[in-house]
Amino acid sequence: MTSLLEGQELADARIIFTEAFNKNRPVLAGFAKCESLEDLHIVRDGWYLGLAKGLSLATYEPVKKSIVEDMRVAMAAGTAGGFQQTIESARGSIGWHAMVANVLETAEQVESDLPGIWEGLESGRLEWIKATKATHMLKMNLRLALTKDNAMDSKGDVHDAKMIWMYSLAAVLPGKQMSDIAKLWATAAKVESFYEPLVGYKPELWDPRRKEWTALDLLVQEAAIRGGTDLDEAWALTSEVMPKTVESVMVDLSGGAGGGGAGGGGAGNK
């Protein structure tokens, strides 16, 4: 059972934990670069590794030693797969599970729910990935139509196209509130096929000033934020998955946790 801290001891522990947490925010933000559960778990474990280093936990040292001595990590350093190789090496070390348990216990002592924080990020990202993949073809068809009509620079035409896409996102995103709002808009705009908004499309009914649209707009924007992005960025993405970026996530095993260092490269790069 985790021992509870009190008074000045608790205050001091919270300061130390907060500093370590803030140093590792760039690692945590890597969830927004992920395209699969595997990618997400690599970022999560990189976050735990960075926190262990930032908290100066004794259980971090054997894990670091394993990473530093792993030639696969050295060979992958500075490459697109460097971060993933670092985490795989850490996971394979004898002290990995003890280190993670130590991180979670230390967080619990200062009343920080790390599993809860991560669960929110993971579920939000996975829900967004699923929804954007399901609506990708529709989005690309809308963009193609705009391009053919030389309307990509027309704010009005682009807005109308984005409304159709946003409705389609609402139709597939999980949750009763989202589903109910999508159904309300489908009724208001007389959508003939719930998952196919272009069937029998009546542009005169797709008025963004309608109260039903305001509610749908806000909910879809919130879903995008939970997924680590925004609607403009998602609309502009023309590939079904995000391109892997070398600078996505890094964990520093020597300097400040969360900065550049051992293991560079996009989480989950394969």
Structural contact between residues 190 and 200, judged by C-beta atoms closer than 8 angstroms: yes
* pLDDT number for residue 81: 81
pLDDT of 8: 83
Our measurement of the distance from residue 37's CA atom to the centroid of its chain's CA atoms, rounded to an integer in Å, reads: 10
DSSP string, 136-198: HHHHHHHHHHHHHTT-TT-HHHHHHHHHHHHHHHHHHS-SHHHHHHHHHHHHHTT-SSTT-TT
- pLDDT mean over 215-232: 97
pLDDT for 246: 32
* Single-letter amino acid, residue 259: G
Residue with the two structure tokens 């079904």: 240
159-176 residue pLDDT tens: 999 999 999 999 999 999
User: Which amino acid does the sequence have at 212?
Assistant: E
Residues 187-203 have pLDDT tens digits of 999 999 999 999 999 99
Encode pLDDT of 72-112 as tens digits: 988 888 777 889 999 999 999 999 999 999 999 999 999 99
Position 6 scores a pLDDT of 75
The pLDDT tens digits of the residues spanning 246-269 come to 345 556 666 543 343 444 444 443
Average confidence (pLDDT) over 216-241 = 92
- Tens of pLDDT, residue by residue over 12-67, are 999 999 999 999 999 999 999 999 999 999 999 999 999 999 999 999 999 999 99
Tell me which of 83 and 2 has the higher pLDDT: 83
pLDDT (tens digit, 9 = 90+) per residue, 115-127? 999 999 999 999 9
Q: pLDDT value at position 257?
A: 38
Start-to-end C-alpha separation, the chain: 39
Its pTM stands at 0.85
Left if phi > 0, otherwise alpha if psi is -120 to 50, otherwise beta: which for 5?
Answer: beta
